[in-house]
Every structure is written in structure tokens, then in C-alpha cells.
């Protein structure tokens, strides 16, 4: 079965270490991660931001006054998935270092995670939903050659 079609806009905000993040996120890899997590054709914007922009978005849209690793703004799931994924570069880099994972692999996980959110998956609605979402993420990432992000394998 062919993978869903994807129209992607990949944007990088004003980052002091933009080259590091651009190297971890070549366009073809971003497309590959997202397409493997899609269940339908999609139009998705991925924006890589600094801590200030990440915190402002999280505060303004989720009421949480801190920068988080990924925010998903989902606009439609049918007939096409339409969403924005916002990844906060300094948070992703810090987490990758703490988890002893490559920056590219951590970004792959968060792209898959955000794409699943854009399609209605939610890990905050209960333990069963969280386990199902984690299992789906792990399955997709294994297909991409990325180790289990939850360290179970």
C-alpha cells in the first residue's frame, strides 16, 4: 500500500544554532517520518522555533507558560489531514542529550508523535490511550530504523 501524499512546508525560526537543527532535519527525512505516521493525505507545516516562541505559543494556546518539545495545531483530519507542528529546538536538543539519543532520532520521534496528534491520537486522555499511542509510535519508528523512544526494546 503506498504511503499517503504530503505537502510539507518546513520552516526554521531565528535560531542561534540553526545549522545544528537543519542538519538533523533534512527535508527528505522530515517527509519520511511524517508520511510513515499518516493515515491519509496531508498538508503539514513544520516550524522549528526558539524557546521564546515555543513558550509564547504554549502559553497562549495551552495555558502552560513554558516551552515544550512539540505542539500540534490540528485543523482537519478529513478528507485531508491539515496541521502545524511546532518543535522547540532548545527543548528538543536538551531532551536528546538527557536521553542520550541523537538529535535526529529525537526529532524523528517528535515528528511522528505530533503527526499522530494531528490525526486524533491523544496520550493525555487515559493510560490505555497513552499505551496505544506509544505502541504506535514505537512501531512507526522501528520501520524508520529508530530505536524504541520509551526504552522498552
What is the rounded distance in angstroms from the CA atom of residue 5 to the CA atom of residue 39? 10
pLDDT, greater one: 153 or 33: 33
What pLDDT is stored for residue 153 in this prediction?
59
Order of strands, sheet of 6-12, starting from the edge strand that comes earlier in the sequence: 6-12, 42-49, 81-88, 70-76
Q: Is 117 annotated as ligand-binding?
A: yes
Domains and CATH numbers, the chain: 6-143 (3.40.390.30)
% of the chain at pLDDT higher than 90: 89
Q: Which of 80-89, 94-103, 123-132, 136-145 has the lowest mean pLDDT?
A: 123-132
Q: Is 21 annotated as ligand-binding?
A: no
Q: Is 28 annotated as ligand-binding?
A: no
Q: Please state, rounded to an integer, the average pLDDT across all residues of the chain.
A: 95
pLDDT-derived band at 129 (thresholds 50, 70, 90) equals: confident
Amino acid at each position: 500500500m503506498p504511503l499517503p501524499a504530503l505537502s510539507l512546508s518546513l520552516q526554521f525560526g531565528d535560531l542561534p544554532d540553526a545549522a545544528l537543527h537543519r542538519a538533523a532535519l533534512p527535508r527528505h527525512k522530515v517527509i519520511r517520518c511524517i508520511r510513515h505516521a499518516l493515515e491519509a493525505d496531508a498538508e503539514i507545516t513544520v516550524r522549528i522555533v526558539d524557546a521564546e516562541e515555543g513558550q509564547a505559543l504554549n502559553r497562549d494556546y495551552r495555558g502552560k507558560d513554558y516551552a515544550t518539545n512539540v505542539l500540534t495545531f490540528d485543523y482537519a483530519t478529513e478528507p485531508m489531514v491539515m496541521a502545524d507542528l511546532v518543535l522547540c529546538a532548545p527543548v528538543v536538543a536538551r531532551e536528546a542529550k538527557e536521553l542520550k539519543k541523537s538529535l535526529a532520532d529525537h526529532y524523528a520521534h517528535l515528528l511522528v508523535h505530533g503527526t499522530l496528534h494531528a490525526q486524533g491520537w491523544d496520550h493525555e486522555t487515559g493510560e490505555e490511550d497513552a499505551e496505544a499511542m506509544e505502541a504506535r509510535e514505537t512501531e512507526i519508528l522501528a520501520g524508520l530504523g529508530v530505536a524504541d523512544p520509551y526504552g522498552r526494546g
